Amino acid sequence: MTTAPNQSAGMALLEWYDRHGRSLPWRTRQGEAEPYRVWLSEIMLQQTTVAAVIPYFERFTARWPTVEALAAAEDDDLMTAWAGLGYYARARNLLACARTVAGQGFPRTADSLRQLPGVGAYTSSAVAAIAFGERVPVVDGNVERVVSRLIKLGVPPKTAVATVTEAVEAMLPDERPGDFAQAMMDLGATICTPKSPACGICPIRGWCAAAADGSALDYPKKLPKRAKKTWHGVSFVVAAPGGRVLMRKRPPKGLLGGMLEAPGSAWGEIPDNPFAHAPLAARWSEAGSINHVFTHADLTLSVFTAQLPRPMPVKGCEWYCAQTPVATLTRKVLTRGLATLTPEP
């Protein structure tokens, strides 16, 4: 029989964190971190790996060193800087949030942070704990997994938020709530991993019911996964001299909201007449197709391409530099189309 997670486990975890915690660009060595950097990193890290975030974080903080600087950014510049990172609603919320906070500083409690756009239960508590030292439980995916194993939680953690939160509160030390939150996440990221947990070197295995009977891989219990849709569509890559390419801006909300794309059809059933969706009359070349995986759908786009002698006005579209940062899907389409126009030897 193991001891249920308690404050001693929390303190053991803090000692481990002091020796083995990761060094990351948004972390400071001692004391409270800059709220701006903590908030920015937490938004970027939503459902996004540390490795993917780091270069974006470095670029953002170099270009916009303060929340006031970020608040003064143009919408298009912000979206362009975010291009490739995904979940673009985060970028729109980021800017709205910065403009709300600029000049008066961030709210300093989880409850007040929670009112900001794009800041939910996790992010509000994480920023409050890490940047302002509020003693609140922080529950992310890592913590859900760690706790599921500690107490052998028999249901998916999303369906037992109160139980998970109570377990974290039971462990929460009196001091250093921010370090404790980051320690839990580091433990989940480096020791208590999804597929190969290193229970043998875990600093809190003495409190872990799953480690005690070798059942860590049975947790967390998973929700049944839902079926994916398959979408089809057509895209048209139109090039003009000077490295120009024709694009349009997607509607501000929804999938890839506010991002640039090559003109073409809506996505769904296979279009019966692809050229009905062409932005203009031209001699089209087939450029093959590209595949793209969204969280909830697989997309296949047939790409057609044409070269114009010069840029000309097209309703609903504008001409852009082909190197403009765009969402990954659009980058795939442009690359495919432009490669067909200028084939490699």
Partner DNA sequence: CAGCCGTGGAT
Partner DNA sequence: TATCCAAGGCT
Judge residue 251's burial from the number of C-beta atoms within 10 Å of its C-beta, 0-12 exposed, 13-18 middle, 19 or more buried: exposed
Q: Are 167 and 147 in contact (CB under 8 A)?
A: yes
289 binds DNA (CB under 7 A): no
119 binds DNA (CB under 7 A): yes
Cβ nearer to DNA, comparing 254 with 288? 254
Q: Whole-angstrom Cα distance, residue 308 to residue 241? A: 8
Among 63-71, 205-213, 290-298, 309-317, the segment contacting DNA (CB under 7 A): 290-298
Catalytic pick among 42, 134, 144, 261:
42
Cβ nearer to DNA, comparing 139 with 246? 139
Q: In the block, which residue shows the tokens 């701006």?
A: 36
Beta strands in the chain (DSSP E): 229-240, 244-249, 260-261, 285-293, 297-307, 318-321
Among 55-63, 239-247, 301-309, 321-329, the segment contacting DNA (CB under 7 A): 321-329
Judge residue 202's burial from the number of C-beta atoms within 10 Å of its C-beta, 0-12 exposed, 13-18 middle, 19 or more buried: buried
Shortest Å, Cβ 78 to DNA: 14
231 binds DNA (CB under 7 A): no
Cβ nearer to DNA, comparing 77 with 298? 298
Of 170, 143, 178, nearest to 158 (Cα)?
143
132 binds DNA (CB under 7 A): no
Shortest Å, Cβ 243 to DNA: 21
Q: Whole-angstrom Cα distance, residue 170 to residue 187? A: 17
Amino acid identity at 270: I
Cβ nearer to DNA, comparing 181 with 306? 181
- Whats the size of the chain, residue-wise? 345
Q: Whole-angstrom Cα distance, residue 293 to residue 18? A: 39
The values of phi and psi at residue 194, to 5°, are -60, -45
137 binds DNA (CB under 7 A): no
Residues between 147 and 176 that touch DNA (CB under 7 A)? none
294 binds DNA (CB under 7 A): yes
DSSP designation for 264: B
What is the end-to-end Cα distance of the chain in Å, rounded? 69
The yes-or-no answer on residue 175 being catalytic is no
Question: Given candidates 87, 244, 249, 314, which one binds DNA under the rule CB under 7 A?
Answer: 87
254 binds DNA (CB under 7 A): yes
Cβ nearer to DNA, comparing 183 with 234? 183
292 binds DNA (CB under 7 A): yes
Shortest Å, Cβ 298 to DNA: 9
Of 289, 300, 305, 291, nearest to 338 (Cα)?
305
133 binds DNA (CB under 7 A): no
Cβ nearer to DNA, comparing 38 with 70? 38
CA 117, 118, 120 angle in degrees (round to 5)? 105
Residues between 20 and 59 that touch DNA (CB under 7 A)? 22, 24, 26-27, 41-42, 45-52
Omega within 30 of 0 (cis) for the link into 220: yes
Residues that bind DNA (CB under 7 A): 22, 24, 26-27, 41-42, 45-52, 84-89, 93, 117-124, 126, 140-142, 145, 182, 185-186, 188-189, 193-196, 222, 225-226, 229, 254-257, 292-297, 327-329
Residues with a known catalytic role: 42
